[in-house]
Amino acid sequence: MKHLIDIKGVSHAYKTKHGPLPVLDGLTVEVPKGEFCAVVGPSGCGKSTLTRLVSGLMRPDRGTVILDGQEVTSPRKTVGMAFQNPVMLEWRTILENVMLPLEIVAPEMKKSDAEARAMHLLEMVGLKGFENKRPSELSGGMRQRASLCRAIVHKPQVLIMDEPFGALDNFTREDLWQTMRDLRAAEPFTCVLITHDLRESVFLGDQVIVLSGRPARTQYVLNVDLPADRTIDILYDPKAVDMLHVLRDQIRIAQGRDGGLH
């Protein structure tokens, strides 16, 4: 299977007044085309740095980041992004917010076609009837649904999600996991998800990459052998429970706390 994302021996350090702060050290990650890759690890281990490197917002000190066979040296139009805080423009309607990437990457597209594309996605995530509302008129979960639509409206090769559901309550979060599952089934794309939620990583991921403590490297890769059409109940399946135990043990190791939970 072809790797759409190939991160090879990447090291990176931030400059601080006390000297370099290494965050990545020889990191290697491979994400096959069409796969959903969840990345977990201790706080501050460099997970968000990884997303900036894949999106082209940063270049590594050493190593290479390859996207679809080409080295990433600058921001790519073929990358969509969704963050924990779904920043939306209050002076634009939800429909206009979702259409924004099309105005940037496909300015030649007819407005009627762009509206139809955005409305199709809004309907898929349950926001039909809210397209003319302003962001402040929607709940946090609804704004995040709109943010997901905005991130994939231009049909990106790669969707990067940095803690997109972290600020939501558990019920809303689980509901959005299922929305994400449905979006992926209808709109195939490769995804890199940064998360602190191990249940989220197992529910959404085809593979879960555990990063070590800073400076991070790839410590462990878990292949999630679960059906694609998952329901929340699958997290109580013995196979999923075993995966969660493995991931918890790996996080404890990454934090420097050996012994694990058994």
Q: Show the DSSP H helices in the chain as ranges.
A: 47-55, 94-105, 111-124, 140-152, 170-186, 198-204, 238-254
CA dihedral 64, 164, 209, 22 (to 10 degrees): 50
Does the residue 115 lie in any domain?
A: no
The percentage of residues in the chain with a pLDDT greater than 90, rounded to a whole number, is 58
Whether 258 has a pLDDT exceeding 80, the answer reads: no
Q: Tell me the whole-structure pTM to 2 decimals.
A: 0.89
Q: Say how many CA atoms lie within 13 Å of 188 toward its Cβ.
A: 5
Does the residue 118 lie in any domain?
A: no
Radius of gyration of the chain (CA): 19
Does the residue 91 lie in any domain?
A: no
Amino acid 1: pLDDT: 52
CATH number reported for the structural domain that contains residue 198 in this entry: 3.40.50.300
Band the pLDDT of 167: cuts 50, 70, 90. confident
Q: What value does the mean pLDDT take over residues 193-209?
A: 94
Whether 260 has a pLDDT exceeding 80, the answer reads: no
Does the residue 190 lie in any domain?
A: yes
Whether 30 has a pLDDT exceeding 80, the answer reads: yes
Q: What value does the mean pLDDT take over residues 196-202?
A: 94
Q: Say how many CA atoms lie within 13 Å of 245 toward its Cβ.
A: 10
Q: What is the pLDDT of residues 44-64, one digit of tens each?
A: 777 888 888 998 888 999 999
CA dihedral 151, 190, 76, 128 (to 10 degrees): -20
Count of structural domains, the chain? 1
Does the residue 206 lie in any domain?
A: yes
Q: What is the pLDDT of residues 85-123, one digit of tens each?
A: 878 899 999 999 999 999 988 889 899 999 999 999 999
SS3 31: strand
Q: Nearest to residue 146, comparing CAs of 158, 157, 130?
A: 130
**H helix and E strand count, the chain:** 7, 10
- The angle at the Cα of 160, spanning 11 to 75, to the nearest 5 degrees, equals 65
The percentage of residues in the chain with a pLDDT greater than 70, rounded to a whole number, is 98
Band the pLDDT of 75: cuts 50, 70, 90. confident
Asked whether the beta carbons of 44 and 24 are under 8 A apart, the reply is no
Structural domain including 201 reads: 1-13+27-78+185-262
- Paired strand residues for 209: 39, 221
Q: Mean of the per-residue pLDDT values for the chain?
A: 89
Q: What is the pLDDT of residues 210-237, one digit of tens each?
A: 999 888 899 999 999 999 889 999 999 9
